[in-house]
């Protein structure tokens, strides 16, 4: 806590220095000319800091889960704010730093489990600290602390930072995103081709305030069941020297590209993705967008631990998934999507929930298909923009056919087949209130599969409604 406050004080001091620079015209002539000379001299430390930029983010998030019947409902109101600073360039180098705090304004008792199932809140607890449900105030985190080297259109960034890849990404469904610590290279010097390369040795998952080594970051969230039906016990029992990833995005022609990604988690697993995105003009204002995706995955060594009761992925485990998207989009008006995804029967598709949302075309906010095999998923999405008003709405409906809840070999989290409806309304302000954006999200998940009259297969999973209202202000 003290370190975080010291960091904010340092940034405040830098900000004070910048404001003094901007008010230089009110200083005596001698002081003004000294400052003017310092600003025009790009080879000194003052120029390095004075030509940087501050940015900030305030976020309010309210969440309410209605589980229905005799199961517990939960609500929470969270507020957070952060500030960051990135210096100007000096010899193509930049330094960045940022931090964020979260405060529980008012909520249910998130440490109290549901009496019938013994389970805790899922969505509301995720706004704060998953590891400590009673922590309402000491919720601050150093988020960015990096040095960046720029070269033409490319850069190398070393340290704590935000990244976005198919398998490790921010995940916007809570108060703060997933962050990483390592070295990341973005190379764009070859025409129509972009390379993303990274080595990560620490991860700070969303809904936490700590930084973990790679093995320790897996298992912070609920870990479900082993294929034999026993409780997964990999939390704190995985060893890995880090995550290595590489991605290539090649532009075939305008609005058509292919992507190839590989994620290698040393000693645990390897995952590869191929994706094609294509866009074709039907007329002046209407486009046909197509997407194809395939993912393969296999365990490395013993999947994280020689003791298979404590491993993340069983030795010799393999999984395969493929999907497709068809979209009709009218320019600045709206769109209609049909999406399909299949996870085959060969093995569970596993990807740490602490790291990312699903990369599948059928992904719908507030639920996932990670942890399962033999899944058929299909959904439709209608999106509409309302001119220059700043409003946009997205209505989506999906059906997800899962393995039987008692088939633990293919169903890690004992989740029944379900259908889901999302209504997502957003508003992005302009004019005087530019920087504000608002989101109202309603989610309903209905049951399709057999729950065997066991509420543990229902609570926070199906036959429930979720209400989210989010306000962001970026400055």
Query: Which is higher by pLDDT, 352 or 7?
Result: 352
Q: Please work out, in degrees rounded to the nearest 5, the angle formed at the alpha carbon of residue 98 by the alpha carbons of 425 and 181.
A: 95
- Cβ–Cβ under 8 Å, residues 412 and 372: yes
Is pLDDT at 162 greater than 70 in this prediction? yes
| pLDDT for residue 351 | 98
DSSP run (H or E) holding 298: strand 286-299
Instruction: Provide CB contacts within 8 A for 157, sequence distance 6+.
Output: 146, 147, 148, 149, 183, 184, 186
- pLDDT tens digits, one per residue of 400-420: 999 999 999 999 999 999 999
Q: What is the mean pLDDT of residues 427-431?
A: 96
| pLDDT for residue 411 | 98
Query: In which band, very low, low, confident or very high, does the pLDDT at 172 lie, cut at 50, 70 and 90?
Result: confident
| pLDDT for residue 49 | 80
- pLDDT tens digits, one per residue of 37-90: 444 556 777 777 888 999 999 999 999 999 988 999 999 999 999 999 999 999
Query: Which is higher by pLDDT, 466 or 16?
Result: 466
Is pLDDT at 361 greater than 70 in this prediction? yes
Is pLDDT at 31 greater than 60 in this prediction? no
Query: In which band, very low, low, confident or very high, does the pLDDT at 119 lie, cut at 50, 70 and 90?
Result: very high
The tokens describing 285, both together, are: 């204002």
Distances, alpha carbon 148 to alpha carbons 30, 114, 180, in Å: 35, 47, 15
Q: Please work out, in degrees rounded to the nearest 5, the angle formed at the alpha carbon of residue 33 by the alpha carbons of 30 and 34.
A: 85
The share of the chain scoring above pLDDT 90, in percent, equals 86
Is pLDDT at 191 greater than 50 in this prediction? yes
Q: Is 347 exposed, middle or buried (0-12, 13-18, 19+ CB in 10 A)?
A: buried
Residues 443/446/448/451 CA torsion (nearest 10 deg) = 110
Is pLDDT at 280 greater than 60 in this prediction? yes
Shortest CA distance to 413 belongs to which of 401, 398, 403? 403
| Buried b / exposed e along 146-170 (16+ C-beta atoms within 10 A) | bebeeeeeebebbbbbbbebbbbbb
> What is the DSSP secondary structure assignment for residue 210, as one 8-state letter?
S
| pLDDT for residue 331 | 87
Question: pTM score > 0.85 for this model?
Answer: yes
- pLDDT tens digits, one per residue of 292-314: 999 999 999 999 999 999 999 99
| pLDDT for residue 40 | 52
| pLDDT for residue 5 | 52
What are the φ/ψ torsions at residue 343 (nearest 5 degrees)?
A: -105, 125
The tokens describing 459, both together, are: 């609570």
User: What is the average pLDDT value for the chain, to the nearest integer?
Assistant: 92
């Amino acid at each position: 806590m003290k370190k975080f406050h010291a960091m904010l004080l340092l940034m405040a001091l830098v900000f004070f220095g910048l404001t003094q620079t901007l008010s230089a015209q009110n200083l005596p002539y001698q002081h003004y000319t000294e400052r003017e000379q310092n600003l025009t001299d790009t080879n000194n430390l003052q120029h390095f800091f004075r030509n940087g930029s501050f940015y900030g983010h305030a976020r309010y998030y309210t969440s309410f889960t209605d589980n229905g019947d005799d199961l517990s409902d939960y609500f929470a109101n969270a507020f957070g704010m952060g500030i960051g600073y990135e210096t100007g360039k000096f010899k193509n180098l930049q330094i960045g730093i940022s931090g964020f705090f979260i405060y529980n304004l008012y909520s249910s008792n998130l440490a109290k489990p549901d009496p019938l199932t013994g389970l805790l809140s899922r969505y509301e607890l995720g706004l704060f600290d998953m590891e400590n449900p009673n922590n309402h105030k000491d919720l601050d985190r150093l988020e960015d602390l990096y040095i960046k080297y720029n070269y033409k259109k490319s850069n190398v960034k070393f340290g704590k930072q935000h990244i976005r890849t198919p398998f490790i990404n921010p995940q916007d469904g809570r108060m703060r995103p997933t962050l990483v610590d390592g070295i990341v290279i973005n190379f764009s010097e070859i025409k129509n081709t972009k390379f993303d390369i990274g080595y990560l040795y620490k991860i700070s998952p969303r809904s936490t305030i700590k930084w973990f080594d790679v093995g320790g970051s897996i298992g912070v969230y609920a870990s479900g069941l082993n294929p034999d039906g026993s409780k997964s016990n990999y939390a704190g029992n995985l060893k890995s020297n880090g995550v290595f990833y590489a991605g290539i995005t090649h532009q075939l022609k305008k609005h058509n590209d292919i992507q190839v990604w590989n994620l290698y988690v040393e000693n645990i697993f390897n995952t590869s993705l191929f994706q094609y995105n294509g866009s074709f003009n039907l007329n002046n204002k209407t486009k046909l967008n197509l997407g194809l995706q395939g993912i393969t995955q296999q365990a490395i060594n013993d999947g994280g631990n020689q003791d298979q009761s404590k491993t993340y992925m069983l030795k010799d485990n393999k999984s395969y998934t493929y999907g497709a998207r068809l979209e009709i989009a009218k320019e600045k008006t709206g769109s209609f999507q049909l999406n399909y995804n299949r996870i085959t029967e060969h093995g569970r598709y596993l990807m740490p929930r602490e790291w990312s949302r699903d990369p599948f075309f059928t992904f719908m906010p507030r639920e996932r298909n990670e942890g399962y095999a033999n899944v058929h998923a299909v959904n439709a999405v209608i999106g509409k923009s309302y001119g220059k008003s700043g409003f946009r709405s997205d209505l989506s409906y999906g059906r997800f056919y899962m393995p039987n809840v008692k088939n633990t070999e293919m169903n890690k989290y004992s989740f029944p087949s379900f259908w889901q409806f999302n209504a997502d309304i957003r508003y992005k302000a302009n004019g005087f209130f530019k920087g504000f954006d608002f989101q109202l999200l309603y989610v309903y998940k209905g049951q399709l599969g057999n729950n065997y009259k066991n509420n543990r297969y229902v609570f926070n999973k199906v036959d429930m409604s979720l209400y989210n209202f989010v306000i962001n202000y970026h400055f």
